[in-house]
Each structure stands twice: as structure tokens, then as C-alpha cells.
Amino acid sequence: MKHAEEKNNSGESFGLRDTLVWCGIPVIVVLLIRVFLIGFYVIPSESMMNTIEPGDRVITSKLTPKVFDLKRGDVVVFKDPDHWLQQEDNSKFGGDYLIKRLIGLPGDTVACEGPGKPITVNGVAIGESSYIRPGVDPSSFAFSVTVTEGHVFVMGDNRANSADSRYHQNDSSHGLVPISDVVGVGLARYWPLNRISGLDSHHEVFADVPEGGSAV
């Protein structure tokens, strides 16, 4: 009888340990995925409309640029390079982060001749109608910027309401975003339910853009 009781107690102990293991492993896996693979952000500003609207929640991949290379068209989340948030509507995006579309890679020259004119990358005009907000000029003023090594040039899809690389030419990185400050690439909107959708990088827009010169 005593032997039977000891066996039962041992069985209960094993069952509890087994339960803790099987519950703990999924929790650890989820935490690791959250820390190293994906990020979640709430969008308060209008700088990426209509691709991303205020109140949208987006999920990002942290594998880019750590594992995979950045590409023109990627929707990137990055740390505030130099007080950009002070010029963004509602001031903050998930803490100290912003979200924009990557237009220029190191060595690229991104330019525009002014209102009504297209953005050019390395001298090739790009058609941005697939993502830029309808009725908004690609840029309301002329500019020309050559992207330096280790940086990218970014712009919001809502160009009329985006304090992006064009507006920060006098900051420490001359309006460019250090690649080391990019924390991920947008994958999808997951909230609200009626706006669940993938975030298209529209890489095809840049298909005819030649490689830029050597970054300096």
C-alpha cells in the first residue's frame, strides 16, 4: 500500500514537471521570436498615408538589415536619427522610432526638380503612383542628395505631411538615416481588422534604376 502511494506521488510530480516544460517552452519560443525576429508598432502620424493610416498597427521583420540586405521600396522602421520626431505629427511612433519608405541606398543620387516632377534615382524617373498618396506631389520642392556609405534616404508616402530625409539636410547625417539605426522592415498591418493586409515594398518601381556610384 505504501509502495502504491509513493508511486502515485512520483507520478503527480512528473506530471507537474511535464506540464511546466510543455508550457514553458512555447513561452520561451514566443519571447525569442518577439525579441529577435519581429516587432510590433502603433502608427499615430499621417506621414505614410494611405499605405499606413493613424491607428494602424504594423508587424515588422528584424531580420532586415541584420541578415538580409535592404532594398529600395522597403518600408523601414528606424530610430530617430537626429530629433526628427519633433517635426512629426503626434510626435511619436512607438517610442523613439519612425517609419518611412526607403528610396535611396548607399551611392544612390536621389533628386527632384520640384512640384509636378518625378523623383529620380541615379537619373532614372520612378513612377510612384502605386504607393504615394493620391493628389500629392512626389516633392513640393527641388532637391538632390547623394547617399553616403552606411546610410539610406527615406521618404513618407504622404509627401505633403512627412518630415523625411528632404527636410533634414542640416542635421548630423544630412537628412540620411544610418543603416545601423534601422530596426526592421514592415511586413503587414494587423490591426484594425478591416485593414489587415501585407505591406507591399513595390520593389518593381525601382527595377530600371541602375546601381549608384561608390558611396563616400
C-beta separation of 171 from 137 below 8 A: no
Active site residue 100: yes
**Which one of 45, 47, 61, 162 is the catalytic residue?**
47
- Contact residues for 30 (Cβ-Cβ < 8 A; gap 6+): none
DSSP 115-171: TTPPPEETTEE---TTTSPTT--S-SS-EEEEPPTTEEEEE-SSGGG---GGG-TTS
Distance CA 165, CA 132 (A): 16
Burial class of residue 107 (count of CB atoms within 10 Å of its CB; 0-12, 13-18, 19+): middle
**Which one of 45, 62, 100, 165 is the catalytic residue?**
100
Active site residue 91: no
Active site members: 47, 100
